[in-house]
Amino acid sequence: MKKILILLVGVAFFACQDKKSTALISGKIANPQSGKAIYLMKIEGQNPIKRDSAFTDAQGNFSMNPSITEPDFYLLDIYGEQREQIVVTGKPFAVTAEGKLNGTIQFADSEENIVLQEFQGLRKGYAEKLGELQQSAVSAPDQATQKKFSDQYDSMVVLYLAQYKTVLKKAENSYASIGMLGDLDPDKDMETLVKIYDNLKAAYPENGKVKSLGDEVSKLKKTAIGQSAPTIEYKDETGNAVSLASFKGKYVLLDFWASWCKPCRMENPNVVKMYSKFKSKGFEILSISLDQDANAWKKAIQDDGLVWQHVTDLTYSQQTLATAYNVQAIPMTYLLDQNGVIIAKNLRGKSLEDKLAELLPL
């Protein structure tokens, strides 16, 4: 079953605007609790920090006047029961919430929070449905039933992504957009990602974290499909120099792996099969190990019968090549055309065989 990674972007990674401003948050809680506080908590990694607090009056009304230096993402913690992620930009806005577990919340005078709430609601609803379908597929009594649920899952992913991109388009000029990027596919949605970054850069040109986003976008662009693969010049297991440029004229699979990576080792027999099948047609492999132990690396090459060329820098902690290729997990592959241009990513098993058969018919 295909899986969609519904990832939360680390919103504390982003922040904007150097101009000091004061935000006013006013609101009404439908189920007020006397003596219990409402907290505004700044998101700092995994540990939100309390920045302001308020108590409601008998009618549930409250207000906050936190001192902030820049727009950012916060948690509004209502009695420890209802926690909502919100955007505070320095412009006054109003909140209406139920104040109970799984309660609803509404905003006025804040387009940022309105669109962020729409996005969060959409994601939550689809995550629940997708989870149910995934569980149904796992517990299916036979393959036919499993396939039925798997197909429904895939169709629902397509529906979610279409609606997600519609909501994201509403936010492309909004600060809230930086908390909504996690479901973009850099290879398919680079234009959208660049547009949002350009909007943020225009609004907050000197902000360090926006510059960091720019660095990330630049790195993603360098390894996007259609781009020339970054240079590789390292030594193989025998100490001889290997250059990616020497593979020009052949289709090349760059295979990031390690001896300690079980999924990598499980995939190796298939890679061996593909090499044997397509080598004579102009197919080559360059395996790039993330090993630190030279002996374990060399032993795995021999044990698995990996008869093509290999490189590693044996400094996994630095991840020089892994960083250059934006490798977040292994196994990870890039397929290059005869001119060293990236034409596909993460092809394994039958998908790799089908692509090679298309490019190099036997």
Q: What is the pLDDT of residues 150-164, one digit of tens each?
A: 999 999 999 999 999
Cα 207 to Cα 235: distance, rounded to the nearest angstrom = 40
Q: What is the pLDDT of residue 315?
A: 63
**Rounded to the nearest 10 degrees, what angle do helices 143-170 and 186-203 cross at?**
20
Indicate which CATH number applies to the domain containing 74. Answer: 2.60.40
pLDDT higher than threshold 90 for residue 59: yes
Q: Report the predicted TM-score, pTM, of the whole model to 2 decimal places.
A: 0.75
How sure is the predictor about 208, in pLDDT bands with cuts at 50, 70 and 90?
low
Is residue 263 located within the same domain as residue 214? no
Query: How many of the other CB atoms lie within 10 Å of CB of 38?
Result: 25
Is the pLDDT score of 331 beyond 80? yes
Residues 251 and 335 placed together within one structural domain of the fold: yes
Nearest residue to 133 (alpha-carbon basis) of 313, 268, 31, 2: 2
Is pLDDT above 90 for 309? Answer: yes
Residue 227 lies in a domain: no
Residues 103, 122: one domain? no
Instruction: Tell me what pLDDT residue 158 has.
Output: 96
Average pLDDT over residues 45-71: 90
State the pLDDT confidence band at 316, using cuts at 50, 70 and 90.
low
Higher pLDDT, 308 or 72: 308
Whether 205 and 102 share a structural domain? no
pLDDT confidence of 6, banded at 50, 70, 90?
A: very low
Are 106 and 95 in contact, with CB atoms under 8 Å apart? yes
Instruction: Give 256's pLDDT tier (boundaries 50, 70, 90).
Output: very high
Together in a domain, 66 and 122 = no
Could you tell me if 112 and 176 are in contact, meaning their C-beta atoms sit under 8 angstroms apart? yes
Please, are residues 6 and 182 in contact by the beta-carbon 8 Å criterion?
yes
pLDDT at position 70 is 80
Give CA–CA dist 12/46, Å, rounded.
9
Q: Same domain, yes or no, for 350 and 255?
A: yes
Give me the phi and psi of 108, to 5 degrees please.
-130, 145
* 2 found inside a domain: no
Q: Could you tell me the pLDDT band of residue 5, with boundaries at 50, 70 and 90?
A: very low
Question: What is the average pLDDT across 324-340?
Answer: 93
Arithmetic mean of pLDDT over the chain: 89
Tell me, yes or no, whether 200 and 271 share the same domain. no
Q: How many domains does the chain have?
A: 3
Q: What's the CA gap between 85 and 77, in Å, rounded?
A: 9
Tell me, what CATH number does 353's domain have? Answer: 3.40.30.10
What region, left, alpha or beta, does residue 173 occupy, with left being phi > 0 and alpha being psi -120 to 50 degrees? alpha
Task: Tell me which of 222, 250, 269 is where a domain ends.
Answer: 222
User: What average pLDDT score do residues 2-30 get?
Assistant: 50
Examine the pLDDT at 79 and tell me if it is beyond 50. Answer: yes
In a domain, 3, yes or no: no
Q: What is the pLDDT of residue 9?
A: 37
**Same domain membership, residue 256 and residue 160:** no
- Residue 287 in any domain: the answer is yes
pLDDT of residue 163: 97
Among candidate residues 201, 222, 243, the one where a domain is terminated: 222
The pLDDT assigned to 22 comes to 43
162 and 212 in a single domain? The answer is yes
In a domain, 191, yes or no: yes
Q: Is residue 217 part of a domain?
A: yes
- Taking residues 326-335, report their average pLDDT: 93
Determine the average pLDDT of the residues in 255-260: 95
Among 64, 84, 109, give the residue marking a domain's end: 109
Q: Which of 1-10, 172-181, 252-261 has the lowest mean pLDDT?
A: 1-10
Q: Is residue 5 part of a domain?
A: no
Which of 306, 322, 302 has the alpha carbon at shortest distance from 314? Answer: 322
Res. 187 pLDDT band, cuts 50 70 90? confident
Structure tokens at 114: 């309105």
Q: Is the pLDDT of residue 13 over 60?
A: no
d(CA 304, CA 271) in angstroms, rounded, equals 10
Is residue 6 domain-resident? Answer: no
- Residue 152 DSSP code: H
| pLDDT score for 319 | 57
Where do we find the tokens 């240079």?
231
Residue 236's Cβ-count burial label (10 Å; 0-12, 13-18, 19+) is: middle
Residues 82-124: tens digit of each pLDDT: 999 999 988 999 999 999 999 999 999 999 999 999 999 999 9
Neighbouring CB atoms inside 10 A of 190's CB total: 18
Q: What pLDDT is stored for residue 115 in this prediction?
A: 97
Return the amino acid letter for 133: L
**242 lies in which domain range?**
233-359
The fraction of the chain above a pLDDT of 70, given in percent, is 91
Task: Identify whether residues 239 and 345 lie together within a single domain.
Answer: yes
My answer on whether 237 and 355 are in the same domain is: yes
Total residue count of the chain as it appears in this document? 362
Is there a single domain that holds both residue 206 and residue 318? no
**Residue 340 C-alpha from the chain's centroid:** 26
pLDDT in tens, 264-303: 999 999 999 999 999 999 999 999 999 989 999 999 999 9
